[in-house]
């Protein structure tokens, strides 16, 4: 029977998942909650255990993580991130940061060690995409205005979760929270994500569309799953988690024209592996330990519900939405889920957190998951109740604030100017990220492959010179693009900010100066940033100045050719990102 041990355990998991689905559908309770409880019942810590092999449990869990993160990436999409908006993105950053800080503080109040408190903060910082979206769909509220804000916050949190996973890995391996280590890992993460995303956007959507052209579902499914598992292995080889590779693969594949077909094919697998993932969570739970830490779990669950509701509601209100929409959005975010379990599993696998953290995370998730449908359904009643007890002066202030922000929104001719302004900022930001990625790639080569240079007799200074010069010259098309976009931005700001009634006859001269200063200041700021990030590969000062002078001369001489080169790259990326959004796959039958 040893040869079929894994199949036996997998069969047990799938059978209990199937029974759970039927039972919890009849009880009108979240199915994900049932999966976790079912895992506890058949796990190694329960009398009459069915699944006891720790290796089989880990294999089932890892398989579930890869497919679950891949499907979350498919629903993430770079287009959706662009559509989130700066305001919602800032709210998500503030909310995650605040909940992380609160979690660390709560762990300190309980007297837990620093690593336990840090991982607790990360666990409660991230809401559950699956729980939130399923709750909205099952309540028939997916098309409500607040639901779009909830989805936007979830998309932004998915991106932040990847950053958090990488930083926690660095902190866990280093054994402490060191700024230098965190900064280095952020750089490596940025390099992997940016380079992987850019190359993926240029290659994978076209590959997926080419395979889809054969009009054979099995060929398309096998191909995208190959991309998924291949990206997961690449991420592990680069020192990151399988979750990161699978998520990025899904996000890149989501930019193909055939993503609707891919989603339809992957949906059954997603449901299957979501079941595996959540049952595997229950398999790792010791009910005795859960009872021992029941009180901290209850208190932390209350902190999650209250903290996420207040921070998200306040943030959504500040960026210009009415109080009712803001509170309903906050209630929709009041839970934790899949990324929290991935973080808890990471801490356990690295041996840096106590055993009780995992069952506490599961208990918090179960409590929030069970309450989430009721919070969503009672949102209107809560809003009306709060409105009745809120003083009239506060209601007037809130209404006035919302009206003032509404008046500031660009309309008519201002809308066109705002669109141009936003597009210029996007172009500058993307090119800056690409320049940073090139210099970080150089730092990575210098740190991990210096022995190659030593084999051919190249010393430290010459190695730094070659790497830095390569990064600089490869960046020239991007630097020229940044200068040109910043110049256009400067002209726009000069026209809007310098009026004739203030400057008189000097209006045009001042506008010209401002239009020139802004691009130069942009390049100076970029130079300081690159110098800081690439400090590990800076050549001697005289050599660096000579290379910069040579770069300027090449830019002047090759200006037209470099502009055309950048235009081709931009056109290729734009063609990928601006494809018509495919229709969403319908709900599973």
- With left for phi above 0 and alpha for psi between -120 and 50, is residue 320 left, alpha or beta? left
Architecture of the domain whose range is 64-376: Up-down Bundle (1.20)
Condensed to tens digits (0 to 9), the pLDDT of residues 420-456 reads 767 777 777 778 777 877 777 777 677 666 666 666 6
pLDDT of residue 586: 45
The DSSP annotation for 270-285 comes to HHHHHHHHHHHHHHT-
Collect the ranges in the chain with pLDDT lower than 50.
Answer: 1-2, 177-179, 404, 407-408, 502-503, 584-589
CB atoms under 10 Å from CB of 178, counted, come to 12
DSSP state of 337: -
Label each residue of 69-91 as H, E or C: HHHHHHHHCHHHHHHHCHHHHHH
Q: Tell me the helices (H) and strands (E) count for the chain, helix number first.
A: 26, 0
Q: Which residue has the tokens 């899904």?
A: 250
Q: Which two tokens stand for residue 266?
A: 């992957």
The DSSP annotation for 189-216 comes to HHHHHHHHHHHHHHHHHHHHHHHHTT--
pLDDT of residue 540: 77
Q: Which two tokens stand for residue 288?
A: 């005795």
Distance of CA 340 to the CA centre of its chain: 13
Measured CA to CA, the distance from residue 526 to residue 514 in angstroms comes to 18
Cβ(56)–Cβ(6) under 8 Å?
yes
Measured CA to CA, the distance from residue 333 to residue 337 in angstroms comes to 11
Residues 6+ apart with CB under 8 A from 92: 152, 153, 156, 157, 160
Measured CA to CA, the distance from residue 286 to residue 289 in angstroms comes to 5
């Amino acid at each position: 029977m040893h040869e079929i041990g894994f199949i036996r355990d997998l069969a047990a998991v799938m059978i209990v998942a199937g029974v759970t689905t039927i039972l919890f559908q009849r009880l009108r309770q979240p199915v994900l909650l049932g999966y976790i409880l079912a895992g506890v019942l058949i796990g190694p810590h329960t009398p009459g255990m069915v699944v006891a092999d720790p290796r089989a449990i880990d294999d089932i869990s890892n398989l579930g993580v890869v497919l679950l993160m891949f499907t979350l990436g498919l629903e993430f999409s770079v287009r959706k991130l662009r559509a989130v908006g700066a305001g919602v993105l800032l709210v998500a950053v503030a909310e995650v940061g605040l909940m992380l800080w609160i979690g660390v503080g709560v762990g300190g109040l309980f007297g837990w060690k620093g690593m336990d408190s840090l991982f607790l903060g990360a666990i409660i910082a991230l809401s559950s995409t699956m729980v939130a979206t399923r709750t909205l769909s099952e309540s028939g509220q997916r098309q409500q205005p607040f639901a779009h804000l909830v989805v936007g916050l979830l998309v932004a949190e998915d991106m932040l979760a990847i950053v958090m996973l990488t930083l926690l890995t660095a902190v866990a391996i280093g054994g402490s929270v060191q700024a230098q280590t965190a900064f280095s890992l952020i750089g490596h993460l940025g390099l992997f994500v940016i380079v992987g995303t850019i190359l993926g956007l240029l290659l994978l959507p076209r590959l997926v569309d080419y395979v889809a052209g054969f009009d054979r579902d099995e060929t398309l499914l096998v191909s995208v799953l190959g991309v998924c598992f291949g990206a997961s292995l690449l991420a592990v080889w680069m020192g990151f988690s399988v979750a990161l590779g699978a998520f990025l693969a899904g996000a890149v594949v989501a930019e193909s024209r055939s993503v609707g077909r891919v989603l339809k094919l992957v949906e059954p697998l997603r449901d299957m592996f979501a079941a595996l993932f959540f049952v595997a969570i229950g398999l790792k739970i010791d009910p005795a330990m859960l009872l021992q830490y029941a009180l901290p779990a209850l208190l932390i669950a209350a902190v999650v519900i209250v903290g996420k509701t207040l921070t998200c509601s306040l943030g959504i209100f500040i960026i210009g939405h009415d109080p009712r929409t803001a509170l309903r959005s906050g209630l929709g975010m009041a839970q934790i889920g899949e990324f929290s379990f991935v973080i808890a599993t990471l801490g356990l696998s690295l041996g840096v957190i106590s055993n009780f953290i995992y069952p506490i995370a599961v208990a918090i998730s179960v409590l929030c998951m069970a309450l989430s449908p009721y919070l969503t359904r009672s949102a209107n009643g809560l809003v009306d109740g709060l409105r009745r007890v809120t003083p009239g002066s506060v209601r007037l202030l809130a209404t006035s604030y919302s009206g003032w922000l509404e008046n500031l929104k660009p309309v008519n001719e201002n809308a066109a100017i705002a669109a141009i302004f936003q597009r210029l900022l996007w172009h500058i930001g993307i090119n800056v990220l690409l320049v940073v990625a090139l210099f970080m790639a150089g730092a990575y080569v210098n740190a991990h492959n210096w022995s190659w240079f030593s084999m051919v007799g190249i010393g430290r200074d010459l190695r730094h010179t070659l790497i830095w010069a390569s990064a600089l010259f490869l960046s020239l098309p991007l630097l020229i693009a940044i200068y040109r976009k910043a110049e256009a931005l400067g002209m726009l700001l000069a026209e809007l900010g310098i009026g004739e009634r203030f400057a008189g006859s000097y209006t045009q001269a001042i506008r010209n100066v401002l239009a020139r200063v802004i691009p130069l200041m942009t390049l100076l700021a970029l130079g300081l940033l690159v110098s800081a990030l690439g400090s590990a590969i800076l050549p001697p000062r005289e050599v660096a100045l000579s290379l910069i002078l040579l770069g300027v001369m090449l830019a002047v001489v090759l200006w037209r050719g470099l502009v055309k080169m950048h235009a081709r790259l931009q056109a290729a990326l734009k063609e990928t990102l601006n494809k018509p959004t495919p229709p969403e796959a319908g709900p599973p039958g």
